[in-house]
Chains A and B, each alone.
Chain A
Amino acid sequence: MTDLTEGHVPSVIPGVRSEAARRAAVLGLPTRFTQRAGNVGGVGESVPRPDGVLKVTGEFAYSSDLWHEHMLWGHLLRSTTAHAEILSVDVSEALATPGVHAVLTYDDLPAEVRHYGLEIQDTPVLAHRRIRHHGEPIAAVAADHPEIARRAAEKIKVEYRELPVLTDEKSATAPDATVLHEDRTDHHAPHVPHPNVVHRQPIVRGDVERAAARADFVVRGEYEFGMQDQAFLGTESGMAVPAEDGGVDLYVATQWLHADRRQIAPVLGLPEEKVRMTLAGVGGAFGGREDLSMQIHACLLALRTGRPVKMVYNRYESFFGHVHRHPARLVYEHGATKDGRLTHVRARIVLDGGAYASSSPAVVGNAASLSVGPYEVDAVEVEALALYTNNPPCGAMRGFGAVQACFAYEAQMDRLADAVGMDRVDFRRLNAMSQGSVMPTGQVVDSPAPVAELLHRVRELPLPAERPWESGGGGVDVRALPGGLSNTSHGEGVVRGVGYAVGIKNVGFSEGFDDYSTARVRLEAAGGEAVASVHTAMAEVGQGGVTVHAQIARTELGVTGVTVRPADTRVGSAGSTSASRQTYVTGGAVKRACELVRERVLELGRARFGAAQPGWSSEGLRLEGGKVVAGDGTVLAGLAEILGDEAVEVETEWRHRPTEPFDRVTGQGDGHVQYSFAAHRAVVDVDVELGLVKVVELACAQDVGKAVNPLAVVGQIQGGSTQGLGVALMEEIVVDRTTGLVRNPSFTDYLIPTILDTPPMPVEVLELADDNAPYGLRGVGEAPTLSSTPAILAAVRAATGLDLRRTPVRPEHLTGG
């Protein structure tokens, strides 16, 4: 049994001056692991999370818990309309409010750069002349107390001239549609069919006309995917502390410190090195923290007032404070021969990107390139695009474009199987891709792709008992029924359904992006024992990277004591905690840095002891149990002995193999780093009279290459599956089609699954190594989010006999009323 005791952070963090700032810097994770005996806690072990107990007992310090003496509170005024011209903004009354220290509008921005954006810098820091979506920030207030700031913001007078809202493809791409971003200079602009199209990516492979002519069966369908929210529990928050050198220290919950800094510094008019960032405790992310939220506003207010400024969104504001998953309309045509072979796929995927680009272009690339799913099809004609509209901005969320496509192609696969007259799972397995298959982009899938096996695994699992509410010995347990504690059924109207789905997700940043990470690893002797420390800028957002880094260091360096240092910008970029990439890429960087440290340690050892001991010149020396061990098991020296007073430290960048952009016309190109696959079987009970659904069981099989931390892997799979369940049955941001206003920005009306909605989730983990990846691992976090939704929809269709084309399913969709 691994014996890990939660330690404490180092008592002094260099470069952080005040006690409060130091406190802020170390909020978040306790980062020191100590172990008492044995070389355990390495790669492949279920090492417990250091933040787990703290989180469930309410003791974890989140970014919203930051505190500083003399700090002010920041607050934003946001638009109450979705599309308008701003005629005037009068802040005089707000500014005159006692306790208010600053009120900033667009005109107060200090530098030439006044926009930001992950890929296209189209988002104004504060609105300028134009409002493009409901809840757009217009002014920032700093005050002694959050309530004073809030009330002062209410005193700001904004005069609008309302403009017609663009809320769908038709209104956005009409020839005379208002152009939402005039004078676009981004690199997609010259290639789009309409200025309100952010990016369009076709994929063309094979002769679709000819293939379609061979089809004995063709199914066509139009599908709709609602707008999902990441619904992380910790709202956007952080603190900016002005520094004596004119710079600023920012403590914030984010997914990528360096990308934040790249966008923040130019708006502040500061060089990047004067914007020092430290990760504060993150309460979930799921893509919703890739874009900036309060970062720039807090820094601006801190620099203007000379005081630390804290900002915390409340839940209502949070729904406006981050991008959502793109809602989508998808039109598919699938064909198959009599013997069940896919002939061709045609697809058109329209993603609503909302008012600003965010990561829409990359989402389009994913939706297009993964649009066919994990199937072999030689003839493909696909178009995916993202719109600019006056709806809320959409961007990254777990699954990133692959989710919407999977929902549609898996519905199609069921319908096509039915048309052919084959079992739905058999039909999928017959057409499943495998290692060596070619993607619609022309990319060869060159590592294991056990799609058929995953489907087989979930199908072979025993089915849960029928009518589980009767299992208690004669009574009825309403918790096991649709409606649950609401007591809507004692078995009446309840019909069971089973559905299957499988999906494909890319891992890592694609399309030629230089997707590297940096790690600094240090090995030194302390108290007669060699200890390691790992320093990266990886944002721990709950994925468990902090255990992974320590595990890698233990495995590579043969030590037990590993300190994982707080993530900050004093080390190079780790890239984003997204795209299922951190264990692969920053894990890869930590591994590489450890290897370099090991080489230096061995050099040191050879220099010190090599002459006396011939074993030092043998091959296959390894670091194990705090010692250098020869291939034959001979212990050559203790690491502490070799190191003496010397510390070995290496900082290195690490890259996965390069990718290339998709051709703008054909979509061909080796655009992705790695693919990951998961399959689900959903078992549901539907109350067909009331349209209420109880998911009875949601089984998943996934290939993870190598389970670096098996417990964390299962947690990712179950969490992803649950997020897929949410958007199948309840999660949707409802936007009024005529006004563009968000109708349910609260957890009262944006529902996420409770424990009673979350079923048992048996998980089958396959470990088929990808030889290109560190330890053969495969990114885990997103694939389970894909197939969960279509599996549940398939099960609901099976129970109701309804041809459901939209998600989430609402009760009235199932009752026809």
Chain B
Amino acid sequence: MEFLRPASWEEALAVKAEHPDAVPLAGGTDVMVELNFGHRRPERLLDLGRITELGEWESDGPAVRLGASVPYTRIMEALRSELPGLALAAHTVASPQIRNRGGVGGNLGTASPAGDAHPALLASGAEVEAVSTRGTRLIPIDDFYLGPKRNALAPDELIRAVRVRRAGGPQQFAKVGTRNAMVIAVCAFGLALHPESRTVRTGIGSAAPTPVRAREAEEFLTGVLEEERCWDTGRPPPPSAARRFADLCSAACSPIDDVRGTAAYRRRAVGVLARRTLGWAWQEHRGSARVTEGAA
């Protein structure tokens, strides 16, 4: 196995262009496990550890340009107000040790439906900055996930950053696992209210072959909030609408039975999470939310 260790981003892109089969390695929380268990034996590893700008973030107009390797710990600590949904999701990633190493770039590169960042990115609205020696393209997050562990990156592209829309309203993230910490999602749900555009976006994890949005649910709720003048009055959507929203979120799932949970359970649980997160988000929108200690 060849271990390539470029000193700069340009060099990394050149290496990736020359060796499209080279597997990028950043935090290593996915790749090293696969290597250790012999699930994967790439000819080349492309270590991005020396490229410091991948660990930085900056403001980029209405978005935060989040370097691919910014560790989850930093997201939790530093980006709670700008990216609250992603910060909540970061808090549920594995253990403190893993959160110190892993970043969103790895989640996107692996593109597992169970990646914790995906529902938050889908709900916030984001673009993946995919770069090659040919140039830079911004892939909308909605077009990024193609299948189980398949994404829209070209073989010669690396993830430089993800541009996540700065929160204009409350965001929530909740994840079901069979223990109270350090667990892979049985299913997960992200919700973002966007008062500026009077819209709602969602993201569902681990309940379909890829992370997905519940578009019908979003449209339904957006419509209800408009019709009921919720944005203007601050009144919550009627309970029947919240239930309908939850049902539509469940319906957006196409889950499987596996060792972590049943399809039926996932569908049901996504509905419960949708209803609850909507309640919390709306409470916050009205300024009456309570602090959640221990969460981001």
Contacts and interface: CB of A to CB of B under 8 A. Distances in A.
A476 B180 contact: no
Interface stretch (A62-70, A242-250, A775-783, A809-817): A809-817
B183 A751 contact: yes
Contacts of B88: 487
A317 to B, nearest CB: 10
A299 B162 CA distance: 54
A754 B181 contact: yes
A478 interface: yes
Contact of B267 (A753, A755, A817): A817
B182 A811 contact: no
A314 interface: yes
A739 interface: no
B292 A478 contact: yes
User: A-side binding surface: helix, strand, loop or mixed?
Assistant: loop
Contacts of A490: 276, 280, 290, 292
B193 interface: no
B182 A754 contact: yes
Contacts of B176: 483, 486, 488, 690, 692, 811
Interface in A44-81: none
A730 interface: yes
A175 interface: no
6 contacts: A474-B290, A475-B292, A477-B294, A484-B179, A485-B295, A486-B183
A580 to B, nearest CB: 28
Contact of B174 (A474, A486, A729, A755): A486
A489 B37 CA distance: 36
A487 B173 contact: yes
Contacts of B272: 493, 689-690
A475 B180 contact: no
Contact of B265 (A474, A476, A482, A691): A691
Contact of A812 (B264, B273, B276, B279): B264
Given A477-B294, A754-B181, A812-B262, A485 B91 contact: yes
Interface stretch (A265-273, A458-466, A742-750): A742-750
A723 B268 CA distance: 30
B175 interface: yes
Nearest to A751: B179
Residue picked from A694, A753, A755, A757, most chain B C-beta under 10 Å: A757
A488 B294 contact: no
Nearest to A734: B259
A694 B262 CA distance: 21
Interface residues of B, number: 40
Contacts of A743: 259
A817 B295 contact: no
B58 interface: no
Contacts of B180: 479, 482-486, 692, 694, 754, 756-757
B104 to A, nearest CB: 18
A743 B261 CA distance: 13
Contacts of B178: 692, 729-730, 751, 810-811
A474 B289 CA distance: 11
Interface residues of A, number: 45
Contact of A478 (B37, B262, B267, B294): B294
B121 to A, nearest CB: 17
Given A734-B259, A812-B264, A812-B265, A486 B280 contact: no
Given A757-B179, A757-B181, A475 B174 contact: no
Contacts of A815: 265, 268-269
A753 B131 CA distance: 42
Nearest to B39: A316
B259 A488 contact: no
A488 B173 CA distance: 8
A348 B273 CA distance: 42
A92 to B, nearest CB: 22
A150 B178 CA distance: 33
B262 A487 contact: no
A489 B262 CA distance: 21
Contact of A485 (B38, B181, B267): B181
A645 interface: no
A472 interface: yes
Nearest to B188: A486
A35 B124 CA distance: 63
B169 interface: no
A479 B294 contact: yes
Nearest to B292: A476
B293 A472 contact: yes
A690 B269 contact: yes
Nearest to A813: B265
A492 interface: yes
Interface of B: 36-38, 88, 91-92, 172-184, 186, 259-262, 264-265, 267-269, 272-273, 276, 279-280, 290-295
B291 A730 contact: no
Interface string A296-324: 00000000000000000010100000000
A183 to B, nearest CB: 37
Contacts of B186: 811
Contact of B291 (A476, A744, A757): A476
Residue picked from A150, A479, A485, A810, most chain B C-beta under 10 Å: A485
A314 B37 contact: yes
B168 to A, nearest CB: 21
B269 to A, nearest CB: 6
Contacts of A480: 294
B37 A488 contact: no
A753 B179 contact: yes
B163 to A, nearest CB: 25
A811 B181 contact: no
Given A487-B174, A811-B178, 19 more contacts: A476-B292, A479-B293, A479-B294, A482-B180, A484-B181, A485-B92, A485-B180, A485-B181, A485-B295, A487-B292, A492-B276, A689-B272, A690-B176, A744-B259, A756-B180, A757-B181, A811-B186, A812-B261, A817-B265
Residue picked from A477, A755, A811, most chain B C-beta under 10 Å: A811
Contacts of A484: 179-181
A744 B38 CA distance: 16
A722 B284 CA distance: 38
Contacts of A754: 179-182
Nearest to A492: B276
Interface in A772-817: 810-812, 815, 817
Contacts of A489: 276
Q: Return the 7 tightest CB-CB contacts between A and B, nearest first.
A: A484-B180, A812-B265, A475-B291, A756-B181, A817-B264, A479-B294, A477-B293
Contacts of B91: 485, 487
Contacts of A817: 262, 264-265, 267-268
A688 to B, nearest CB: 10
A694 B174 CA distance: 16
Contacts of B291: 474-476
Contacts of B37: 314, 316
A475 B290 CA distance: 6
Nearest to B258: A743
A476 B92 contact: no
Nearest to A743: B259
A486 B259 contact: no
A810 B176 CA distance: 12
Contacts of A692: 176, 178, 180
A482 to B, nearest CB: 7
B38 A488 contact: no
A143 B8 CA distance: 38
A230 B177 CA distance: 22
A692 B38 CA distance: 34
A748 B179 contact: no
Nearest to B262: A812
Given A754-B180, A812-B265, A478 B295 contact: yes
A482 B183 CA distance: 13
Contacts of B184: 748-749
A810 B266 CA distance: 12
B292 to A, nearest CB: 5
